[in-house]
Structure 1
Amino acid sequence: MSPTVRPGQHAMEILDLRPACTTLARVVGSIRDDQLAGPTPCPAYTVADLVDHVLGLALAFTAAARKEELAGPADPSGDGTRLPDGWRDLAAERLDALATAWADPAAYDGLTTAGGVELPGGVTALVALDEVVVHGWDLARATGQEYDADPDAVAACLEFAASFEPPADDTGGAADTGLFGPPVPVPDDAPVLDRLVGATGRHPHWVPA
């Protein structure tokens, strides 16, 4: 039996997505219907749009772990108008399947594809973890919930996000872009979650207008 290590350890080892997925499922399950039209830290997404995106990314990254071809668009879109009945329970089911899929050592073997991008299995697991942790913060902040993020997952995601340098623009300078959006400067001594949020293009103190 292969050992399971925490996310802060070697990136190509098995990651434990369970705490982050459980937390995101709790956040989604606590969203009220009257909050679905509200804004989120993702400017193009309402709460409903982002929940739809979470449903899609959970499917996509579960399929990536299993090396299965996912039917439909490669990139999980965010369209809140198509949220199905029972979306809270569906999110919990899909996030549980996501965590289970990436607990399988075979998920880390070779290359796999998610969102139309082919990457090594271990890197894809980190992308999945980053999506779950950051979008969990997005939804918690958008709906006024506490966010008890798994510290090891946050640390692993920050290391991963910080490894991306903004690509050069046409003038040879640094383009204003990042893994999720233009990075927001955050003090080095800020809490780790705040630094992750900033590295992924969010203002740590964002609140709904």
Structure 2
Amino acid sequence: MKTISELLEKAAARAVPVVRGIDDAQLAGPTPCSEYDVRALLNHLFVVIENFQALAVKGSTDFSRTEDVVTGDWRGRFGDASALLAKAWAEPGAEEGTPGRMGIPARTVGLMVLGDMTVHAWDLARATGQDFEPDASVVAELEPGLEAMAPRAREMKVFGEPFPVSPGATAFERALAVTGRDPGWSPVRR
């Protein structure tokens, strides 16, 4: 079984190129997360990364931050933040205990941020016309992890209702569907 840090490094290696490939002209475009445009989803992902970095070291979190951080060298900062996230989860004890007020095991918390990093990278890739193929070892952990989290995530309105997929769907398509996403989503052409 790979550590959360190893998995996050693999997820970041796939997410960072997607973020770097986003043109400023695409920031107002729609994403598979109907409540977020590209800019808002990037801001959300920055908040997630920062807070889950704090959770790795059993620090305090603030998921309510709403300022726009998609300014200046945000692409470079995303790469740096992703690397710091993986580094935080590599620290001794990161996968032990129950960080924060969630009352759930640290490894599950790590799988949550792994899910955010991977699924939102797919969201951003789809929204901006880029290819995205997650690392197979990430998907192997993600699919059962998201399935296990789904009932509580739906109660919290973090996941939508499962999207129906064909029996031949890939593991990643099934993982996306568990979150309520249509694996075939594309931006509406005007």
Calculate the TM-score normalised by the size of structure 2.
Answer: 0.88
Residue matched to 1:191: 170
For 1:23 and 1:78, locate their aligned partners in 2 and report how far apart those are by CA, in whole Å.
26
Aligned to 1:160: 145
Distance in structure 2 (CA, Å) of the matches to 1:154 and 1:189: 16
What value does the CA root-mean-square deviation take over the aligned residues?
Answer: 2.3
* Structure 2 residue aligned with 1:171: none
CA distance in 1, matches of 2:69, 2:157: 29
Bigger helix share: 2
- Residue of 72, 75, 80 corresponding to 1:93: 80
List 4+ stretches of structure 1 deviating above 4 A. 76-79, 175-179
Cα distance, 1:106 vs structure 2: 1.3
Distance 1:125 1:83, change over 3 A: same
Q: Which has the larger radius of gyration?
A: 1
**Counterpart residue number, 2:10:** 19
1:142 maps to 127
Instruction: Give the partner amino acid of 1:148.
Output: E
Identity of matched residues, %: 34
Deviation at 1:110, TM superposition (A): 1.0
Offset at residue 145 of structure 1 (A): 0.6
The Cα shift of 1:76 comes to 5.3
The CA distance in 2 between the partners of 1:22 and 1:193, in whole Å, is 17
User: Is 1:124 paired with 2:109?
Assistant: yes
**Deviation at residue 14 of structure 1 after TM alignment:** 6.4
Contact 2:56/2:99 (8 A) holds in 1: yes
Select the residue among 32, 39, 42 that pairs with 2:33: 42
Count of aligned pairs: 187
8 Å contact from structure 1 (residues 47, 139) kept in 2: yes
Residue 109 (structure 1) aligned with residue 96 (structure 2): yes
**Structure 2 stretches of 5 or more lacking a match?**
none
User: How big is the shift at 1:158?
Assistant: 0.8
Report the Cα distance in structure 2 between the residues aligned to 1:166 and 1:101, rounded to whole angstroms: 28
1:178 positional shift: 7.0
Q: What is the distance in 2 between the residues matched to 1:44 and 1:102?
A: 29
Q: Distance in 2 between matches of 1:189 and 1:177?
A: 30
Q: What SS does the corresponding residue of 1:102 show, helix, strand or coil?
A: helix
Establish whether residue 75 from structure 1 lines up as the match of residue 63 from structure 2.
yes
Question: Does the residue aligned with 2:93 lie in a helix, a strand or coil?
Answer: helix
TM-aligned CA distance change 1:176 to 1:125, over 3 Å:
closer
